[in-house]
Amino acid sequence: MADKTPNPAAEENIKDREENVNENVNEEQDTSAEKASEENDLQMQIDQLNDKHIRLVAEFENYKRRTSKERIELFSSANKELMTALLPILDDFERAFKNTEETEANTEAIKGFRLIYSKMMETMKQKGLKPMDDCTGEPFDMDNMEAITKVPAPDKSLKGKVIDQIERGYKLGDKVVRYARVVVGE
């Protein structure tokens, strides 16, 4: 029969082997946990870089749209100062036509002035200047008109409406370059 006495050397050898196996298992668990942690860290960095990239692309697209819009506005209003400086000349032509009586002696001169006026007006229209319509009899509109004065309305139906237009208003593109100067009835 086999001797069942405990062999201390064998037991110690078994304990050492068990400890080595446990250490190896713990090391493998530690390294797999470290690998998972590293993978999570790398995935977070990838996500952050992707987010940063997407934001940069969106910001660049917004920049392109904004500069394109500004460029269009600049081109459409590049002649604003010149147009504004020439408006009093157009006003003078209109006042001259309104207050000059046409006779045989000045018919040719008035035709020449009208030709010059129409050429100038046509050139300014080609550059984007649009005259506003005569607003006499229309309700006062603060977005397009400037009230020079208020006078008692000759009729109740003209209360709050334009009685007389002193100067025509003009737009350059969609922006008002000069408001129509009007007299409003109260």
pTM for the structure as a whole: 0.58
Nearest CA to 133 among 93, 170, 84?
170
What average pLDDT does this structure show over 12-26? 71
Burial category of 27 from C-beta neighbours within 10 Å (exposed 0-12, middle 13-18, buried 19 and up): exposed
- What is the average pLDDT score of the chain? 85
CA atoms within 13 A on the CB side of 169: 25
pLDDT in tens, 61-86: 999 999 998 887 777 667 788 888 89
